């Protein structure tokens, strides 16, 4: 397996930060963030770890709710920019440069831990899961949001190729080291967590026909169709674009 390198993390960040503005992309990332933060069940005053937090968007959102957050990010460039972006934002965010496979915190240091959209980028995801469980107190929430490569969109992409999917997302990108499906994700998380929450987010992300349909609809109709698709994803997580899972440390 090829190890991730700091130089990879400090390259042109357009490779790792979503830039798409299509309706399905905006919906996916908004809902993924909303569900991840909700699953953490963090109340004002709680201490939360944001693992591989990138530019700290989620950390600042939580801090704005009165939560104390430590944003862990190995990239010097991203963490420096994140600090700058947070200078005019809410207080309550601290930063640490570290790999999530070896967190520099004591056992039971946090009331909750989140890792959104990053687990499949790690060279050793099991170590990350174990570390997040270790630093989260007994009964606290450990939350992951992970791309599902057995989603309906990915299946259509493999079946119909470029005609089915505009993002070729049915292939694992070069900066993703693990091809997660629901079975593998559940198996790995269950080694260190008692799973309490499991839901799908978004449906048909990147499928060309779906994206074109959304473009033709008016704002109200578009929202209705996206809500309907998202409701289906929540009922059948195995087909969803992203799975949000949460558990308590074993």
Lookup: tokens for 205: 């992300």
With b for 16 or more beta-carbon neighbours within 10 A and e for fewer, the 201-220 pattern comes to bbbbbbbbebbebbeeeeee
Q: Tens place of pLDDT for every residue, the chain, 250 residues?
A: 334 444 445 544 444 444 557 899 999 999 999 999 999 999 999 999 999 999 999 999 999 999 999 999 999 999 899 989 888 778 889 999 999 999 999 999 999 999 999 999 999 999 999 999 999 999 999 999 999 999 999 999 888 865 444 445 456 666 778 999 999 999 999 999 999 999 999 999 989 889 899 999 999 999 999 999 999 999 999 999 999 999 999 9
Distance CA 108, CA 110 (A): 6
Please say whether the beta carbons of 71 and 92 come within 8 A. no
Distance CA 17, CA 77 (A): 13
DSSP 119: G
Distance CA 85, CA 12 (A): 18
- Per domain, the residue ranges of the chain are 20-148+174-202+237-249
Q: Give pLDDT, residue 236.
A: 97
Lookup: tokens for 232: 């289906």
Whole-prediction pTM value?
0.89
Closest by CA position to 118, among listed 108, 109, 129:
129
H or E element at residue 222? helix 219-235
Q: Give pLDDT, residue 2.
A: 34
Q: Which fold has domain 20-148+174-202+237-249?
A: Rossmann fold (3.40.50)
Distance CA 164, CA 184 (A): 25
* CB atoms closer than 10 angstroms to residue 242: 25
């Amino acid at each position: 397996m090829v190890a991730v390198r700091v130089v990879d993390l400090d390259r042109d960040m357009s490779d790792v930060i979503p830039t798409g503005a299509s309706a399905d992309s905006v919906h996916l990332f908004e809902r993924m963030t909303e569900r991840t933060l909700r699953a953490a069940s963090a109340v004002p005053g709680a201490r939360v770890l944001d693992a591989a937090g990138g530019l700290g968007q989620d950390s600042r959102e939580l801090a704005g709710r009165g939560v104390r957050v430590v944003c862990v990010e190995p990239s010097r460039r991203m963490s420096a920019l994140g600090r700058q972006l947070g200078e005019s934002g809410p207080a309550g965010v601290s930063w640490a440069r570290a790999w999530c496979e070896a967190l520099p915190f004591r056992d039971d240091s946090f009331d909750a831990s989140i890792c959104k959209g990053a687990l499949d980028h790690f060279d050793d995801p099991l170590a990350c899961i174990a570390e997040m469980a270790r630093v989260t107190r007994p009964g606290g929430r450990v939350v992951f949001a992970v791309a599902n490569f057995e989603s309906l969109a990915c299946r259509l992409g493999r079946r119909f190729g470029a005609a089915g999917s505009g993002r070729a997302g049915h292939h694992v990108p070069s900066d993703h080291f693990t091809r997660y499906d629901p079975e593998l994700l559940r198996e790995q998380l269950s080694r260190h967590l008692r799973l309490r929450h499991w839901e799908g987010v978004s449906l048909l992300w990147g499928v060309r026909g779906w994206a074109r349909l959304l473009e033709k609809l008016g704002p109200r109709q578009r929202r209705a169709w996206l809500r309907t698709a998202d409701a289906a994803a929540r009922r059948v997580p195995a087909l969803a674009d992203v799975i949000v899972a949460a558990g308590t440390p074993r």
